[in-house]
Amino acid sequence: MASLIPGYEYDIFISYRQKDNKGDRWVSEFVEALNTELEATFKEDITIYFDENPHDSLLETHNVDKSLEDKLKCLIFIPILSQTYCDPKSYAWQHEFLSFNKMAGVDQFGGDVKLQNGNVATRILPIRIHELDAEDVKLFEKETGSAMRAMAFVFRTSSGVNRPLHANEDHPNDNLNKTFYRDQTNKVANAIKDIILGLKNKPLEFESEQKEAVPKFIRSIPKEKSIIVLPFENISSDPEQEYFSDGLTEEVITDLSHIDGLLVISRSSAMTFKGAKTTIKEITDKMNVRYVLEGSVRKSGNNLRITAQLIDASTDTHLWAEKYNGTLEDVFDIQERVSQSIANTLKIELSSWEKKKIQERPIDDVFAYDCYKRAYPEMMSMSKERLEHGLNLLQKGLDIAGENAVIYAGMAFAYFQFVNLGIEHEKNIKKAEEFVQKAFNLNPELSEAHCVMGLVNWLNGKGDKAIYHLAQAHESKPEDPEIMVWLALGYSIIGKIEAGKSLIDRCIKVDPINPLNDAVTGWNHFFGGRFDLALNSLLGAYNSMPESGMNQFWKSLALLYNDRADEAYEFICKYVEEPGRDVWSQLTIFLKYVIKGEKGKLTSLLTPDFVKSIQIDFQNSYHIASFYSYLGEKEKSLEYLENAINKGFINYPLIAMHDKLLTNLHGENRFKKLMERVKYEWENFKV
């Protein structure tokens, strides 16, 4: 079969639970009636995929993805929403509805279509044959990211009747919905026509490159459901208690971030307002949110006094305020009550899963939890002495609570930070792996453990494993900006550009002041071959942190790829001193000699430590391969390129099509064979 638009197998895919077509065969009759109506609406023939197989799944020997892949490549997806359709365990929901939603979100048209009248419609056109439970509606809206606007074929009476409307039941006075079957069918046909006309008028966004799936559907949350939690003020007499008020701020942010219908500004952006003389209006305008939570903490020994108030910045009114008195043991209950009060005030109904996540306490013992919170700023300090103090605090927490997955993951992260400082790389990598494994033994799904394991694999040059663990961490903590940045970088490097971009867009919303936003946006453009766009973002990253060796390197590289090599050379000569203080500076100096073709000067840079650091890192191996190709050193270039590919650099579009520095290699047989392998691995990498 063929669709009206080339490249699609069908115009319409009908998805339903087979049990809803038994007896009076309502779905079959609807499809026949819709076909008749479409013939009277379109000049062309409209193709519909409709499987009348009485079984609710393929055979066990069939490949579900391959069997449905072509059929789901359609313009419009129509799910028949019954009392049983919205079931995560059902075949139709898992392999048809969710699969189409994912595929449509990343094909050339996207999930939404702009109609000729200027309105926007979704390519999922639901038909509702029952009044649905609230949980089913919420599940549908969570996956689609928009309110359910279904065409109703429901016969409902005051006596409790709730069943599909039939063609011979045009009795609106008996039906509370007062609908005519023929009119509803006609509305469906007209809606299909509007969507297809909108698709026909929309230009394609790409032609030659495969567009990949995004890791998680990220929906737009209106400003009316957005909040920033300002740092709770420490009003204790002891300034040493600052860690506790900061920790409380973070925990409330974490709890609120579990609420699916609420956009919560991240901790890192919120903490920039700590101690600032900024008005509520200025904060909400800058963060583009409507609500503000602010409060204070007084901690004296084991006693606590916490105040919190919720402000609607659009009207400058206090919606809710509360004071909590108790002891340290009550802090978990207070956090939960604050989050629940905010949800109630904003009229957000929490699902059972959201309530469970808010109530979840990874460290049950409050004194061990206190040790963990005191250790957190130490682990983020990038100071050897403070990291050692943080490890001591974490060990104290273990002594109190016994084995604990979160504390073990914290210790693994501390050892990872030692490696970041350049301290005993191999020893501390092993320590990090040892403690993260202890965390996995207790909780294989722990986000913090997956995140650290991803970072450790990154340092070990295992890109595919790094991305796997970071993706697992993201699934558990989808609103964590640090995880989003790392995972976005991983996806971008290997050429899954849309997957990276979706994470970056979300990260910018929840963490708008993150200084890495410009940098990670620039990296996404660069690894997608959009070097002109990359330059603007990377210049912005450099301007915000000009002392960063990483930003200096990327500014120089972006200038080179935009045919401004002389500017790059002058910049490096002026701002980057020799010898380089870190790997980034060494790469930048290497680039300086490459630009001028000074091959003889490269030898002095290729110290054993520098070469080892390059060979471990698949990204930097790739850059060195590009530099040697630029110099005409094909064998050296292919050596480093193959090393990068072996470690997971499989960005086929960049290597084979976009990277102008690699054009010298295109005629080489070794390069062509490498590209066959890379193309296969890139196309088969599942996001």
- For 12, 81, 130, 216, 436, the CA distances from 160, given in Å and listed in that order, are 33, 19, 12, 39, 55
pLDDT in tens, 84-132: 999 988 888 988 998 888 888 767 777 888 777 666 788 999 999 998 8
- What residue segments make up the domains of the chain, in order of their start? 10-200, 223-359, 366-477, 483-683
Do residues 455 and 420 make contact, with C-beta atoms less than 8 angstroms apart?
A: no
Topology agreement, domain 366-477 and domain 483-683: yes
- CA atoms lying within 13 Å on the CB side of residue 219: 16
pLDDT score of 382 more than 70 = no
For 483-683, CATH gives: 1.25.40.10
CATH architecture of 223-359: 3-Layer(aba) Sandwich (3.40)
For the residues of 492-550, what is the DSSP string, one character each? HHTT-HHHHHHHHHHHHHH-TT-THHHHHHHHHHHHTT-HHHHHHHHHHHHHH-TT-HH
For the residues of 5-18, what is the DSSP string, one character each? STT-SEEEEEE--G
Indicate the CATH number of 366-477 among 1.25.40.10, 3.40.228.10, 3.40.50.720, 3.40.50.1220: 1.25.40.10
pLDDT score of 391 more than 60 = yes
Tokens of 546: 């000009």
pLDDT score of 432 more than 50 = yes
Which DSSP symbol is given to 231?
P
pLDDT in tens, 52-76: 765 544 433 334 445 566 788 899 9
pLDDT score of 204 more than 60 = no
The span from the CA of 411 to the CA of 487, in Å, is 22
Name the pTM for this structure. 0.63
- Using DSSP, state whether 135 is helix, strand or coil: helix
Average pLDDT over residues 293-316: 89
What is the CA 46 to chain-centroid distance, rounded? 36
Average pLDDT over residues 211-240: 68
Domain 10-200 has CATH 3.40.50.10140: yes
pLDDT in tens, 593-623: 999 999 988 888 888 888 888 888 889 999 9
For residues 369 and 395, the model is more confident at 395
